[in-house]
Amino acid sequence: MKRVVILYGGKSGEHEVSLQSAASIVRNLDPELFEPVLVAIDKEGAWLLQGPGILGRARSAEGPLLIGAGPRVLVGPATGLLVADAGVLKPLPCDIVFPVLHGTFGEDGTIQGLLEVAGLPYVGAPVMGSALGMDKEKAKRLWIAEGLPVVPFVLARRGDEAKAPRLSEIAQEVEKRFGWPAFAKPACAGSSVGASSVRDADDLGRALREALEWDDKALVEPFVKASEIECSVLGNGNPRAFPPGEIVPKHEFYDYEAKYIDPDGAALILPARLDEGVAARVRDIALRAYRALDLAGMARVDFFVDTTKGEVLLNEVNTIPGFTSISMYPKMCETGGLAYPDLITELLELAIERHEGKSRLRYSFQ
């Protein structure tokens, strides 16, 4: 029996989504193989060990995981997890950590670095892959270097939005490369926050101000009118890609509201309505995009596909995608024959495999 610490909540805009994903994982963890331990991260970033009440409730009731009061959990260099119990630090036994944290401080390599230092196996991409997956600019540069088709972009940096000469330089670059309407979004964010369409050069300052509230960098891209296609990739050294799925947002684009607030904000279509050849190309590019960032565990690779031209463009990658039993990532795996509980087991096994692989590396001459 392996003890799996489910890390959930988090100091991120996607805190609530995490509570949902974590609840689904608790309910579907194979009880023959794994024993869950819940560690919640509150909105201030404190790690709190959850008692049996929260776990029991999660198993018996529908709805998101709750966060109750509890002793602080700490992470130390080569100490694993520690729990502060009445002023005394005690080890918190843990075989694998499953970070179910979307967005900043969870999906971006920071938590992964902490877990590496503590010496713990964890589910999902390592430090660099997580950080690259979060940074849409850096990910695209690597994909371009691999010859993969990406949505082109012009980069804006903090301060550009307030300087008229810089704004007009960016606008000229946009006009030269792809023209209006364009689309502006923060480089490192998620949930579509700070993203908006840009009508023309006069609208660029407004769009960049919104995007740069969320990050120091923003991308300006052509406004792509195409199907939104996603593809689940699973594995370490020899990953596999599942049949793609399709998102049909009811709004101008797949915005925050369509993702989380409006229950009819988007339709999920499984498998995606693609010609066989195009679907195969999506899967192939998803695998190459995954390898280009040295990802491990899992990732959902997102695309725009122009179904009339059969043109496939990479948009972005999510290393801890929405993970409720009805989320796109698990659903696409299920369409490809991998049931949700088995997916969880495989991810936990992949975490152990990667950790063991790393422990076999040499770190000194002795």
Ligand X SMILES: Nc1ncnc2c1ncn2[C@@H]1O[C@H](COP(=O)(O)OP(=O)(O)O)[C@@H](O)[C@H]1O
Tokens at 201, concatenated: 């050069």
List 14, 107, 161, 221, catalytic entry: 14
Q: Which of 115, 151, 154, 338 binds ligand X (CB under 6 A)?
A: 151
List 260, 265, 349, 353, catalytic entry: 260
Examine residue 254 and tell whether it contacts ligand X (CB under 6 A). Answer: yes
**Reduced to 3 DSSP states, what percent helix, strand and coil does the chain have, rounded to the nearest 5?**
35, 25, 40
Other beta carbons less than 10 A from residue 148's beta carbon? 18
Pairing of β 298-306 and β 311-318 = antiparallel
Q: What is the CA radius of gyration of the chain?
A: 21
Q: Which of 315, 319, 324, 327 binds ligand X (CB under 6 A)?
A: 315
Q: Which of 21, 104, 191, 345 binds ligand X (CB under 6 A)?
A: 191
Which pairs from 258-261 meet CB under 8 Å and 24+ separation? 258/192, 259/191, 259/192, 260/16, 260/17, 260/191
Examine residue 131 and tell whether it contacts ligand X (CB under 6 A). Answer: no
Examine residue 180 and tell whether it contacts ligand X (CB under 6 A). Answer: no
Binding mask 211-230 for ligand X (x = CB under 6 A): ----------xxxx---x--
Examine residue 107 and tell whether it contacts ligand X (CB under 6 A). Answer: no
334 an active-site residue?
Answer: no
Size of the site for ligand X (CB under 6 A): 19
Q: Which is nearer to ligand X, 67 or 154 (CB)?
A: 154
In the sheet that holds 80-85, the strands lie side by side as 73-76, 80-85, 88-92
The minimum distance between CB 5 and ligand X, in angstroms, equals: 26
Examine residue 208 and tell whether it contacts ligand X (CB under 6 A). Answer: no
Q: Which is nearer to ligand X, 302 or 334 (CB)?
A: 302
Residue 162: partners with Cβ closer than 8 Å, 6 or more residues away: none
- Give the whole-angstrom CA distance, residue 150 versus residue 139: 10
List 9, 124, 190, 322, catalytic entry: 322
At 277, the amino acid letter reads G
Which residues are at the interface with ligand X (CB under 6 A)? 151, 183, 185, 189-192, 195, 221-224, 228, 249, 253-254, 302, 315-316
Catalytic residues: 14, 191, 260, 300, 302, 316, 318, 322
